[in-house]
Amino acid sequence: MPNSWLILILIVLAIGGFVYARQRALAGAGGDARNLHSLPVFYGAHAAIYAAVPAVVLLLLWTAFQPTVLEMRSAGQLSDEIVEQYTTRDLAFSDVVKIADGLDLAVREGVLTSEAAGRMRTEFTDVRDRLGEVGIALGANVQPEILLVAQEYRDRSRFGDIIKTVLVLALAGAGLAFAILRTTPEFRSRNSVEAATRMVLIFAAFIAVLTTVGIFLSLIFNTVAFFQLYNWTDFLFGTTWSPSFGGGSQLGVLPLLWGTMYISLIALCVAVPIGLFAAIYLSEYASPWVRSVVKPALEVLAGIPSIVYGLFALLTVGPFLLDVFGPGPAADGGMFGLDWMNNARSVLTAGLVMGIMLIPFVSSLSDDIINAVPQATRDGSLGLGATPSETIRQVVLPAALPGIVGAIILAASRAIGETMLVVFGAGAAGALALSPLEAMTTVTAKIVSQLTGDADFSSPEVLVAYALGTLLFVVTLGLNLLAQYIVKTYREQYE
């Protein structure tokens, strides 16, 4: 049974259990809710929780782990000869899954019967032709052994789905029956519901931690595999980035780190002054009407997708900078007779547009931080004879400085992790250069490029993307922790 139908059945059971348990509790109290330990709604909620929550947890766990268990068992059945043809066992197993899905589709479309789709009850060539009728084209590497493993994988998957359906429905029924039997006027249903709610909240609180751990583990395993194939010193201290899927790659990360930091520095030089001045104006000088208009208009920039900023950099900012610093349309040089820039894609192009993208980020955070400075500090400064501008420079900004520094660090983390804007605006060349008018690239852009295409996943040229991701993860995590520490220190001063 599909998971959608199981979830629908569980919802119906939960609703039915809620209504019946509520009525049962009232009936046991003679129709007077005052004779109950808890409100009637708690008795209904208790039954709904026991009917749905354990069954849903089992459904999620089964759905998550069944494919992994089946893969471990079915992939081990592939012979070494088949694995050699596919280069890796994972690539061979991907065909197994594709054929198994194709068999299910062929049965649903009526091209194959259920008996013909199982365990080689039909000739291999006939099954291959039938799969072609539903759009599943098998390549030259596919052999009868692959089809046999796919049929067994399909049979195990169907059997596992049956067991899952039976266990989920049995657990839901048992939980509902257990809750109904406990539904008496003396039962402390409110305590039980509150305990269940507390467990849900605790689980929700740990989701972010578990997600972070999962991301880190997925990166670290592939990073370890990369360093087993490529020397870590050449990666961390190499000055040449030249991947070659035919072999002989030079995967030094320093050019990518340099491009990332260079573009981020230019972006911060644009975003921090403009964003900070805008925040000071909105919080200290602007009237309520002006603030209600300007602040939403400024934050509209935050809602623009980064790919749109990338197109703006490529089609507008880049050509403008090329006219100013490059050859330009004139035969004797650019707008000022300079010939410093040869391409619209450059560090300056990406940095300027990224700075514009970060303005609402810096402005919004700085505005909240400045507004958090107690009004008493302003009043005391003004009472001593200071002007409003002196109060801002000598009282408000020093008091808000730790929080503003935290906002700048968070903006730097955002700049370092940007991808699409860099792809359009900065180019794809990994280079170590001082001129901001040169085309460079960043770590995030190369992660995308190295994972794009049909390259062998086990090659260092693909696994290097995970090493880059781990490096970027460590850098941004360190910046975020530093920002949180600074902001926490700032908040403690006025709590």
Cβ pair 263, 310 in contact under 8 A: no
Query: Quick one: pLDDT at residue 332?
Result: 47
**Coil, strand or helix at 333:** strand
Upper half-sphere CA count for residue 426 (Cβ side, 13 Å):
36
pLDDT > 90: percent of the chain: 6
The residue ranking higher by pLDDT, 132 or 46, is 46
Question: Which phi and psi angles does 239 have, rounded to 5°?
Answer: -105, 10
Upper half-sphere CA count for residue 481 (Cβ side, 13 Å):
6
141: pLDDT strictly greater than 60: no
Q: Which two tokens stand for residue 321?
A: 């900078």
> What's the mean pLDDT in 471-483?
83
- Whether the model pTM is above 0.95: no
Query: Quick one: pLDDT at residue 171?
Result: 92
Query: Quick one: pLDDT at residue 65?
Result: 85
Q: How many CB atoms lie within 10 A of CB 420?
A: 17
Query: Quick one: pLDDT at residue 455?
Result: 62
Query: Quick one: pLDDT at residue 124?
Result: 54
Q: Average per-residue pLDDT in the chain?
A: 80
Q: Which helix (H) or strand (E) holds 252?
A: none
Residue tagged 């920039």 (tokens): 301
Give, as one character, the DSSP assignment of residue 168: H
Q: Where does the pLDDT of residue 323 fall: very low under 50, low under 70, confident under 90, or very high at 90 and above? A: confident
What is the rounded distance in angstroms from the CA atom of residue 26 to the CA atom of residue 87? 67
